[in-house]
Amino acid sequence: MIWPIFRLLGQHLSVPLSVTKFGAWRTRTNVVSFFRTMATGGPSEKSYRNRLANEKSPYLLQHASNPVDWYPWGPEAFEKAKRENKLIFLSVGYSTCHWCHVMERETFENEEIGSLMNKHLVSIKVDREERPDVDRVYMTFIQASSGGGGWPMSVWLTPDLKPIVGGTYFPPTDHFGRPGFGTIVQSIVNQWRREPDKMAQQAGKILDALQKATTSKAPSDAGTLAVDASIGRCYRQLAQSYEPQYGGFGGAPKFPQPVNFNFMFRHYASKPETAEGKEGLEMCLKTLRFMAKGGMYDHIAQGFHRYSTDEFWHVPHFEKMLYDQGQLAVSYLEAYQITKDETFADVARSILKYVSRDLSSKAGGFFSAEDADSYPSHDVEHKKEGAFCVWEEEEVRRLLSDAVEGSDGVSLADVFCKHYDVRKGGNVNFEQDPHGELKQKNVLIVRGSLAITANSFNLDEALTERALSKAREILYNERLKRPKPHLDDKVLTSWNGLMISGFAKGGQVLGDPAYTSRAIQAASFIKEHLYNSQTGCLIRSCYTDEQGDVTQIAEPIEGFVDDYCNLIRGLLDLYEACYDQSWLECAGSLQTKQDELFWDAENGGYYGASSKDPSIKLRLKEDQDGAEPSANSVSALNLLRLAQMTGSQDWQARADQLFAVFTERLTKIPVALPEMVSALVFKHNTPKQIIIRGEPDAEDALALIRCVHSRFLPNKILLLADGNKDSFLCSKLSLLPTLEKLDGKATAYVCENYQCQLPVTSVEELEKLL
C-alpha cells in the first residue's frame, strides 16, 4: 500500500520518456537549456550563493546561484532535517542534462518556489556521476513506483532518508490539469504535518519492499546454467531487435550500445563459418558504418554524440560523453581487426584524436563530457541544442567559396554540400525538431559515398577526399570562434578506465606507440590523484581548478565498484599494450580490494557501493548492461582474464560464482547482460595463452606481438616473458621461467591450460598456430 498523496499524485509524476527495450530510458531532448556557469557567452551569474558554492562538481556549481538553500549530500543536511523534522527534497542530475537545465531555469531560479522550499524542506543536490550510489537507490524507487525514470530525478524523503514520493521533471506551476512543483510541495508538506508517523511507516515499508525485490543470490541449482543455450538466446534476442535498413538494435531513439557489438563480435569469432556468426557480424558492421556516416558522428571535430533521435542516425542528442568514446573506440578497432577495412581504423583514430584534444586535462586525466547546448553567438542569452555543431547553407558557401584544385570551376562548397547533404532550407525534419531549434540548420550526414560525390563533379576520389579534408579544416577553425558548449571537467576513475582501454587497444591494433603512451599517462594520473596508497582504495573523482590544475574536495568520495572494475579492465588492456608488469600487478591488487569491499559473501555478486556509508539505504547489484556495461559483467571477464594471467584458481572460482548469481537472467533474458554473456563466451571457448619469450623492445619480439594484435582473438591472453625470473609473472606462473628462446630468437608459445604447442620463431609459423 502506498500512502494517499502518492496515489493522488502518482498519475502526474512522470515526464515524457523515450523508453527502450529492457528498461533503458532517457528524457526527451529537443528543449532549450539554460545554465549560466562554465560557458562561453550569455548572461552573467546571479548574485545568490548557497552551500554549493563550496563544491567542486560542475553540476553542483551550476546551482550555486539558485535562491534555493541547497545542501550537498551529507551529515549537515541530514541533521538539519532531523532537528527540524522536515522532509528532504532530493534533486539528482548531471551537468550536461537537458531537463535538469530546464527545471533549474523554470523552478529552482524562481524566487517564490525557492522561498517555499527553504521554508518547508531541506533541499539536497546530488551529481549522479559523482554519487552513483545515491542515484541508484532512489532511481530504483522511481522505476518501481512509476515504471519509468530519468533525470532530473526528484524525490521527497523522510528525515531518515526513506523515499516517500518522487518523479523526474516537474513544471513550476499547474498546467493542463497537471500539478506544478509548487502545488506538489505544498501537498506533500501538508500531508507530513498531518500524518508524519503514518508517512514514515509507509516509507519504511516501501524501503523494505525494495530491499527484498533487489536481493539477488545464486539459486540452488545454479550449476545448471546451459552456456550454449544462453549464448544462442542472447544472439536471437539481439537479432530480433535489429533494424535492418539502417542498422542498430531497437528503433529510434537509437543508442550505440557497444556491449552488443562486444558480444556479437565474440560470437562471430567462436562461430565464423556459421550463418549465425556471419549475420551477427554483418549487423554490427552495418550499424557501425551508418553511425560513422550519420550526424551522431561529429564530421568536423570528431567524436560521437550520445545517441540519434531518429532511425537514420542523423539528428543526435549533441552531448558527448567520455564513456561512449572509450567503448566505441574499441568497437571500431575490433571491426578493423576482423575486416581489415581502413574505414573502421580511421574512425577509431578520429575518436582518440578528439579525446586527446578536447577531453584531456594537462595533468593526464580525461574529462567527463561536453554539453549538447551552447549559445548560438556571443551576444544571446538562450542556449540551443546543437548550436555549436550545425550549419546554414549560406554560411558554408561563404566559407568554402574557393575552387577545388584541378577542377573545372567546382567549389569546395559544391563538393562539401553534396557529400554532407547540406541544403538551403536545412536538412532536419520537423519530427526531429519540434521546438524549431534546428530550423534552417544542417546536421552533417553522408547519405552517399566518396565515389558518388566524386562522380557528381567528374573528379577522382583522391582529389575529392583532399577537397573534403580542406573544407572540414576550414569549418573546424570557423567553429572554434563560436561559444563553446559547457565542459564537465571532473575526472571520474570509472570512465577513465574505459578510455584507458580505448587508447591501449589503439596502441595494440594500430601499432602507434603514442596511443599506448597516452594510456600510460592516464593510468599514472589515476595512480597519483585517484588512489589512496595507504588504504589501497580508489577515489571516485577529482576536479579541475581555473588554472587547469587538479583539485579535490575536503572529503574525497571513495570509489565505487565500477571505478574498480573499469580501471582493472583498462590496466589489463594496458599491460597487453606495453608489457609493464607493474600495471598487471596493480590490476590484481585492485581486484583483491574490490572483492574485499563489494563482494556479497552470503549471496554472491558485487554490490555497487561498499557498506561504509550509513546514508545509503540499499546496497544494490547491477544486473543490466546499458550505456555503460554493468560492474558485474565487466568483473566476470576481469576475473577470468586475471585467472589466466596469474594462474589463480580463486579468481576462476569467483567468476563461476558470479555466473551462478545471474543464472536466471542469463537463461531467460541474456540480452539484458550481453557483456556478461561475452565473458561466458570467453570461458566456454578455452582461452589461449600466447607467451612471447623475448625483450619488449626487440624487433623480433615486436614482430610476433604485431602478428597477434593484427588478428581479432578475443579468447587470447598475451604475455611477455623477458627472462627475469624474479618478475611478478614468474612468481605467479611456474611455466614462465622454463620457457627459453630458440636459437637466440624471440619465441612464441601458444598454450591452452598451460599445455603448449611446439614453439615458433617466425611470424609465418605463428600465424598458422593462431
pLDDT digits (tens, 9 = 90+) for 472-523: 999 999 999 999 999 999 999 999 999 999 999 999 999 999 999 999 999 9
Domain boundaries, the chain: 4-213, 245-360, 389-481, 688-769
Which residues fall within 8 angstroms of residue 128, CB to CB, at 6 or more apart?
92, 93, 94, 134, 135, 151, 153
Q: Give the mean pLDDT of 755-768.
A: 95
pLDDT at site 754: 74
CA gap 303, 323 in Å, rounded:
11
Q: For strand 70-72 and strand 121-127, is the pairing parallel, antiparallel, or unpaired?
A: parallel
Q: Give the mean pLDDT of 389-403.
A: 98
pLDDT at site 44: 53
Q: What value does the mean pLDDT of the chain take? A: 92
Left if phi > 0, otherwise alpha if psi is -120 to 50, otherwise beta: which for 176?
left
pLDDT at site 511: 97
pLDDT at site 155: 98
Q: How many CB atoms lie within 10 A of CB 589?
A: 13
Query: Looking at the domain covering 688-769, what would its CATH class be?
Result: alpha beta
pLDDT at site 630: 98
Q: Give the mean pLDDT of 680-684.
A: 96
Q: For strand 688-693 and strand 716-721, is the pairing parallel, antiparallel, or unpaired?
A: parallel
Q: Give the mean pLDDT of 548-561.
A: 96
Q: Give the mean pLDDT of 296-322.
A: 98
Q: Give the C-alpha distances (Å, rounded to integers) separating 166 from 82, 94, 147, 396, 769.
A: 20, 18, 12, 47, 59
Alpha helices, H only, 75-127: 75-84, 98-103, 111-120
pLDDT in tens, 10-57: 433 333 222 222 223 333 233 223 233 334 455 555 566 799 999 999
Q: Give the C-alpha distances (Å, rounded to integers) separating 677 from 226, 231, 660, 673.
A: 12, 6, 12, 6
Q: For strand 87-93 and strand 121-127, is the pairing parallel, antiparallel, or unpaired?
A: parallel
**Which segment of 221-235, 414-428, 657-671 scores lowest on mean pLDDT?**
221-235
Q: Give the mean pLDDT of 556-576.
A: 99
Cβ atoms of residues 203 and 158 within 8 Å: yes
The yes-or-no answer to whether 4-213 and 688-769 have a common fold is yes
pLDDT in tens, 264-303: 999 999 999 999 999 999 999 999 999 999 999 999 999 9
Q: How many CB atoms lie within 10 A of CB 658?
A: 22
Q: Give the C-alpha distances (Å, rounded to integers) separating 611 from 81, 101, 274, 407, 615.
A: 23, 33, 47, 69, 10
Which residues fall within 8 angstroms of residue 732, CB to CB, at 6 or more apart?
645, 646, 647, 648
pLDDT at site 9: 41
> And the C-alpha cell for 705?
606481438
CA gap 435, 443 in Å, rounded:
16
pTM flag (> 0.85): yes
Alpha helices, H only, 271-399: 275-293, 322-339, 342-358, 393-399
Strands, sheet with 163-167, edge to edge from the N-terminal-most edge strand: 70-72, 121-127, 87-93, 153-157, 163-167
DSSP conformation letters of 697-748: T-HHHHHHHHHHHTS--TTEEEEEE-S-TTSHHHHH-TTGGG---BTTB-EE
pLDDT at site 6: 40
Residue type, 303: G
pLDDT in tens, 81-137: 999 999 999 999 999 998 899 999 999 999 999 999 999 999 999 999 999 999 999
Q: Give the mean pLDDT of 584-598.
A: 98
Pick the CATH number of 4-213 from 3.40.30.10, 3.30.565.10, 3.30.420.40, 1.10.3210.10: 3.40.30.10
